[in-house]
Structure 1
């Protein structure tokens, strides 16, 4: 019997939210990061200034898109990235 591997495709592919540039309003972006992650405001500011920074990992597409929209409204540049598929 030969081993066969299949890649299952589903609708809920996990995404990461990556902050690529905080822009000029770093404190506004840090407040959004604080709301999204639950980190302290100080840690959120540190995370916002060390780009590229992964803000959220393994979230559904809808949540990732909402987070990116919130970051962009605050003046940052952010993007969603699909997590690579894992074959076990």
Structure 2
């Protein structure tokens, strides 16, 4: 039996929000990470200090852009990265 793979095409490809530098106000950035992810403050601080870190994964572009703005307002440097399309085996 042959395996078949289908690629669903949608208007918005998923994006990741990557924290590249927490800046000098790490606690403020950790609070924003906590608000975005729902993690505890302790885990948010650990995530904010281990850069580069994916804060949010597979979110729409508008949500990713809003998260980057919130992180930058707290003093961090963050960016969105578009997830690559998966390579499916060809028959």
2:10 pairs with 1:10: yes
* Structure 1 unaligned regions, length at least 5: 1-6
- Compute the TM-score of the two structures, normalised by the length of structure 2: 0.85
Q: Which residue is equivalent to 1:53?
A: 53
Q: Which residue is equivalent to 1:65?
A: 65
Report the secondary structure of 1:51's partner residue: coil
Q: Which runs of 4+ in 1 moved over 4 A?
A: none
Q: Which residue is equivalent to 1:22?
A: 22
The total of aligned residue pairs comes to: 83
Q: For residues 31-77 of structure 1, what are the alpha-carbon distances to aligned partners after superposition, in whole Å with 9 as ceiling and x for unaligned?
A: 00000000000000000000000000000000000000000000000
* Structure 2 unaligned regions, length at least 5: 1-6
Q: How far apart in 2 are the matches of 1:84 and 1:66?
A: 21
Report the secondary structure of 1:12's partner residue: coil
CA RMSD for the aligned pairs?
1.6
